[in-house]
Amino acid sequence: MAGIVTSTINKAGETPLDIAEKLGTHTTSELTSVLKEAGATNSKDQPNATKQLKQTVSDIKHGVESQLMQTRQTGHKVQKIAKRLKKLHISGLNNAINSTTVAAVLIATVTFAAIFTVPGQYVDQQTQGFSLGQAHIARQAAFIIFFVFDSLALFISLAVVVVQTSVVVIEQKAKKQLVFVINKLMWLACIFISISFISLAYVVVGKHNRWLAACAALIGGSIMLTTIGSMGYCVIMHRLEEKKLRSIRQSESRSRSYSVMSIASEQDVLNSDFKRMYAL
C-alpha cells in the first residue's frame, strides 16, 4: 500500500474505505482491514475542505473587523487627547502673549523714565557751552550710547504694546507666528536695555573705577549672551525637528491607508506640536 493515497474522495464524497464497507462482501472485508491498517478513514472522519475554507474566511473576517474596531477606538481616543492638548497649547500661547505685553509695558516705562533721571541731572542755569535743561553728561560718549539704545528699547517695546493691543488672532498657527515675532522683538529690547545700563554705568562709577563698569559689562554680557544663545539654539532645534517630522509625514502619507495615516498623523501631532516645553 506504499505510495497509495487512501484518503481520496470521489464526487459522491466517499473514500475507498467507505466504498469497501458499502459493498460488504468477504473480499471487501479483507480489503477493509487492509485499508484500515494503511490508515484509511471514513469521509465523516475527514475534515470538509469547504467547511474549513468557510471557517478560515470567517476567522479572517472577524479578525479584520476586530482590528478595524480597535483602530477606530484608538483614533477616537487620540483625537480626544489631541483636542485637550490643543486647548493647553492655545492657553500657553495666550499666557505667552499676556506675559510679553506686561514685559513690554514694563520696559517701555523704565526706558522712558531713565532718560529723565540721568546721573548729574540737568543744567538749571544758563552756562557757557550748555543750554538750559541739558544733561551735564550729554557730551560724553557713554551717554550717547545710552541715549541711542535706550530709545531703541523704548520704541520697540511700544511697538509690541501697540501690536498686542490692536491685533486679534484667532487661528492657532497665525497666533504662534505672531508670538514668535513679538518674542524676538522683546529679545532685542532686552539686549538694548542691557547695553544702555552698561554704558551708563561707565558714567556713574567715574574715571577711577572704570573696572567696576567693565565687570558689570562682563557679567551682564555673559548672562545675556548665554541666555539668548540657549534660546536661539532651542528655537533652531525645534524648527529642524518640525521640518523633519513634516517631511516624514508627507512621505508616509503616500503609502498608508486613510485609517492608519490618520492615527499616525495624530501621533505625530502629539510628538511635535504639543510638547511640554519649547522655545518660541
Parse the chain into domains and list their residue ranges: 1-46, 51-121+134-272
- Check pLDDT > 70 for residue 57: yes
pLDDT tens per residue, range 70-115:
888 887 887 887 788 778 777 878 888 888 889 899 999 998 888 8
Q: Is 122 helix (H, G, I), strand (E, B) or coil?
A: strand
- Check pLDDT > 50 for residue 159: yes
* pTM reported for the whole predicted model: 0.58
Mean pLDDT of 50-61: 72
Contacts of 217 (CB under 8 A, 6+ apart): 198, 201
Rg, the chain, Cα only: 42
pLDDT at 40: 62
pLDDT tens per residue, range 200-249:
888 878 777 878 888 888 998 888 888 888 888 888 887 788 788 777 77
Which residue type sits at 35? L
CA dihedral for 35, 41, 44, 46, sign (positive or negative):
negative
Instruction: Give pairs for 238-242: CB < 8 Å, separation 24+.
Output: 238/278, 238/279, 241/272, 242/272
- The answer to whether residues 93 and 175 touch, using CB atoms and an 8 Å cutoff, is yes
Which residue type sits at 153? A
